[in-house]
Every structure is written in C-alpha cells, then in structure tokens.
Structure 1
Amino acid sequence: MSTLAPESPPLRAAQGVDDAAMREVLSSFCTGVAVITAVEDCRPVGMAVQSFSSVSLDPPLVCFCPAHTSSTWPRIRRAGRFAVSVLGADQQELCRQFAVTGGDKFAGVAWRAGNNGAPLLDGALAWIECDLAGRLPGGDHTVVLGRVTALAAAPDDTGPLVYFRRTYGRLRSSSSRSASIASARSRSEA
C-alpha cells in the first residue's frame, strides 16, 4: 500500500541551472564542518571546509573539495600531508576564523602538532591525519583524496557543528559515550 506524499516542486533540468539555484537547493543538505591544516615552510596553514567525507575503508581514504580560487589549498598541496579537525558545536567562531581569506588564521588558536606535523586543533571532536593520495578535477573545485595515517576521536560532549541553509547549528548525539580516544595507524605503518 502506498502513501500519497504532498506534491513536490517540479525538478529542473541540469542544463541551465544557475549558481543561485544550485546554492539554494544544495543548502538543504546538512553538513558537518571541518578545518584542514598543514605546515608549509615551518608555518601552519588552514582552511574551513564543509565538503569533507569518508571515501573508503580499504584503503582508508577521505576527501575534501577546495575551490580553485583558494589561496590556502596550494600551500596544503605543497606540504603533501594534512590533518582534518572535525569541529564541535561550540567552535563556530573558530570556523569563521578559518573561513576567511588571508590574515593569520592561527592567531589565538590552541593546537598541537600531529604525528605528521600538521596542526590538530584543540577542542575538535575528531582528528584525521592524511598523506595526499590524489587529486581529481571537480568543475570549479578540486577533489582531494587523503590516505588516512592516524585518527582519533574525543568524547562527544558538545555534538558537531553543522551547516544547514547558510546557518550554523548543533546536533546532539543520542548516545552518551564515555571518553574514548581511539587511534589507528595505516596498515603501511604496521
């Protein structure tokens, strides 16, 4: 037995979709927020992203998608390795600090060097260290693949920082995990 759903708006053909319509519709997809960091020429660099995802367990791969206009991505690419700090709900200002172009994004930011030397931001929900594994064309962005070399998760006390319809929000976990910090090394280091 089928249930009748309210009528949906007509779908638009992909050809001729304008930028504003694309942004509006895709803003309906709720994402987490992360900061990608690296060290280039002995200086930390970083950028906020919402285009971050797990790709594969075997091999362990993640991806993010910087815009071609990013001035930070070329610096991360030259480093050849990076870290991902998954932001918690209380880190909205930190996200804004890493989302701007130019300036010292690390001013006043507490961090420690990961195993690969990339900055791991204090207070994040999780950290993922990667070696640059590949790049693919993605229109006006680059799809960056990272091979995971180490990772850890902090207690889920605050929930993640989420981005939905151009605004930040929070999501609380229904389970209250105890403090469990998990780390893993890639098979190549075993």
Structure 2
Amino acid sequence: MSTLKLIRERSATLIAGVYNSAPIAGHVAGMIGQSRPKWQVDVVAPGDIDMNRKLVPENSRVWQTFKRTHKVLGAFGLIGGLAIGLVLTLTNAAVFASSPEMTLIAFGLYGLFGGLLVAGATALRPDRDLAAMRISDAAAEHKWTVVAHARDEREADYLSDVMAQSGGRVIRSL
C-alpha cells in the first residue's frame, strides 16, 4: 500500500524512548535531533501540557490522510465488490442469475463498506493510540520520553537502536 501513498503525513512511524531523568532524555533528544527538523524530535515531560502536539505534530496532514484513504480504498472496495458480483452473475448460478442487478448492487455495497472500514483503520492507526497511551502512562509515572517521528523504516530502526542503547525503554508504532 505504500506505493499508493495513502499516508499524507511526513512520518508514519512514532518512536519513543522512556527515561528516568530529564538530563538523559535531553541528551538523547539533542543527539538524534541534530540533523533533523524541529517537528521530528521532541521531549515529553511529566505533566506536559503540549503532549498531544508533540505526539501528533501534523494535525492538518492527518485530515489529508483521512480523506485520501477513504477515497482510494472506498473506490477499490466498490470496484472489487462489483467485480465479484459480476463474476457471480456470469456463473449462471440460479440465485445470482435471477437478479443480476441486485447482485451487482449488493456486492458493490459490500465492497464499498469493506473498503471504507479498511480506510478508517488505516487513517486512524490504532497502533499510534497504543503508543500514545504508553507515553502518557510514563509521564504519569514521572518519567521523561523522547518522541521521534521516523520518515521511513530505516530511520525508525536507527532511532529505536539509539534509544535502546542509551538505556531507554523503546515504544514504537507500526
């Protein structure tokens, strides 16, 4: 699905490292943030009122992802459902051949709804919610979290390795 470019955010993966103290978290954030833009690396402190902005720095792009996934996957689902309905109609099975129009409509709607369900799961990305919940729990335990938004899989692996090697408990979304 990556070739369809459904995700409109610059970063699809959230990497976080949880640390016991502010100096360690600040050092790690400074180390990995040297060659990256400001939006990509941040530190979440206990009681941080800007936590949501730090976890999702691209709110406007999330809406673009939502619209794009629903248009593309809804259309794919509709076309797939219509294709299945057409194949079933052409098999001349009595139940489908007796009403080919209703078969096409029913399977087209099933495909459309299925595509929209997949689009919702893709756009909302429940894996990010789980990571955000763990980061929030760490803040409630008075721990500091370095949050990084990886642009690709290679960068996500690098950031995970750096945070783990620096003694952090790594949290990663898909």
Which protein has the bigger strand share?
1
TM-score between the two structures when normalised by the length of structure 2: 0.23
- Ranked by relative contact order (alpha carbons within 8 Å, sequence separation 6 or more), the top structure is 2
TM-score between the two structures when normalised by the length of structure 1: 0.22
Which protein has the bigger helix share?
2
